C-alpha cells in the first residue's frame, strides 16, 4: 500500500480495547504495514470522529448503541469501510450480514485469524482501483469493480448493476466473467448471473440477496451451486 492503513478500534471495556489495540499494532508491525490506529471507548466517540477509516474493529454489544447500528452509520458515510465485528454471542451473525460485516468473530480475537483478515482487507484496498472496460452504445466506459453489485444476462441483454443504477452493455456476459475471474469477490451464482460478495446480505437455496443502502436485489442461485457458493462465501468472509 502506498498510504497508511487507517484502523479504528471501539470497545466499551477498557481492558479489551487495550488488548485489541495492542494486537492490531503487533500484527501490522509484523507485516511491515504503515498504519494509523485510533481507539474509542464509546460508539458516540467513534461516530463523531472525522477520520475516514479503512477498517473498524467493533464490539457489537456496547452501552449507548448497538455495534450493528454503528456499522450501518459508518457504511452510510463510507460504503468502502470494512467492519470486523467481535462479540460474545454467535447469534448476532445474521444481523451482522445486514451491516455488511467483513469479518465476524467471537471474543477474544485470535491473532492468527486477525492477521489473515488484514491480509484480505489490504488486498481488497489494493484492488479498489481495479476496473473493467465495457462497451455502451458506441462508447467504451470504465466501471470500477468495487461498484459492481451483480451482473446479469437476460434475453441477450447484459446488465451491470451498480449502486447508482443499471448499465446495459454490448459485451457478452462470458466476456465480462473473464475480466472478473481474477477477482475473488465475484461468484457466478447461476447461468447468466454473477454477484459481488461485498454486497451479499443473505441467501437461501435458490436466491442470493444483495443490498445497497435501502435498495434490495435478488439474484438467482443454482441449486447445484448452492454448496460451493456457501463454502466460497464463508472463505471470503474469513471464518475458516
**30 burial level (CB within 10 Å; 0-12, 13-18, 19+):** exposed
Write the CATH number for 35: 3.40.50.2300
Mean pLDDT of the chain: 88
Half-sphere exposure of 96 (CA within 13 A, CB side): 23
Whether residues 178 and 192 share a domain: the answer is yes
At 237, the pLDDT band (50, 70, 90 cuts) reads confident
d(CA 201, CA 72) in angstroms, rounded, equals 13
Please identify which residue in the block is written with the cell numbers 457458493. Answer: 229
Helix H or strand E encompassing 166? strand 165-169
Write down which residue in 92, 126, 160 finishes a domain: 126
105 and 167 belong to one structural domain: no
For residues 2-13, average pLDDT = 89
Question: Are the C-beta atoms of residues 75 and 99 closer than 8 Å to each other?
Answer: yes
Whether residue 110 contacts residue 86, with contact meaning beta carbons closer than 8 Å, is answered with no
- Domain containing 207: what range? 131-237
List, for residues 41-59, the tens digit of each pLDDT value: 998 999 999 888 999 999 8
Largest CA distance in the chain: 60
Q: Which of 95, 126, 157 is the last residue of a domain?
A: 126
Q: What are 214-232's pLDDT values in tens digits?
A: 789 999 999 999 999 999 9
Q: Give the residue-averaged pLDDT of 173-186.
A: 87
pLDDT band at 2 (very low <50, low <70, confident <90, very high): low
Quickly tell me which residue has 469479518 as its cell: 103
| Distance, CA of 103 to CA of 40 (rounded, Å) | 19
In the structure, what pLDDT confidence band is assigned to residue 39 with cuts at 50, 70 and 90? very high
* Percentage of residues of the chain with pLDDT beyond 90: 54
- Any idea what DSSP says for residue 18? H
* pLDDT tens digits along 55-108: 999 988 887 677 888 888 888 788 778 899 888 766 655 565 666 677 778 888
CA separation for the pair 229, 235 (Å, rounded): 10
Q: How many domains does the chain have?
A: 2
Amino acid at each position: 500500500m502506498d498510504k497508511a492503513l487507517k484502523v479504528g478500534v471501539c470497545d466499551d471495556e477498557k481492558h479489551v480495547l487495550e488488548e485489541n489495540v495492542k494486537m492490531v499494532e503487533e500484527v501490522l508491525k509484523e507485516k511491515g504495514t504503515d498504519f494509523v490506529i485510533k481507539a474509542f471507548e464509546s460508539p458516540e466517540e467513534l461516530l463523531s470522529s472525522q477520520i475516514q477509516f479503512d477498517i473498524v474493529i467493533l464490539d457489537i454489544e456496547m452501552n449507548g448503541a448497538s455495534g450493528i447500528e454503528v456499522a450501518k452509520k459508518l457504511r452510510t458515510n463510507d460504503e468502502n469501510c470494512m467492519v470486523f465485528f467481535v462479540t460474545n454471542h454467535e447469534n448476532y451473525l445474521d444481523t451482522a450480514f445486514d451491516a455488511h460485516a467483513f469479518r465476524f468473530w467471537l471474543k477474544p480475537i485470535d491473532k492468527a485469524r486477525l492477521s489473515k483478515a488484514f491480509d484480505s482487507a489490504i488486498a481488497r484496498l489494493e484492488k479498489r482501483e481495479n476496473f473493467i472496460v465495457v462497451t455502451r452504445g458506441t462508447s467504451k466506459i470504465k466501471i470500477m469493480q468495487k461498484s459492481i453489485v451483480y451482473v446479469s444476462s437476460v434475453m441477450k441483454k447484459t446488465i451491470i448493476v451498480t449502486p447508482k443504477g443499471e448499465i446495459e452493455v454490448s459485451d457478452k456476459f462470458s466476456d465480462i466473467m473473464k475480466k472478473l475471474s481474477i477477482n475473488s469477490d465475484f461468484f457466478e451464482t447461476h447461468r447468466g448471473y454473477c454477484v459481488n460478495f461485498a454486497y451479499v446480505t443473505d441467501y437461501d437455496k435458490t436466491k442470493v440477496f444483495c443490498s445497497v443502502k435501502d435498495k434490495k436485489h435478488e439474484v438467482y442461485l443454482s441449486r447445484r451451486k448452492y454448496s460451493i457458493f456457501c463454502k466460497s462465501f464463508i472463505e471470503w468472509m474469513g471464518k475458516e
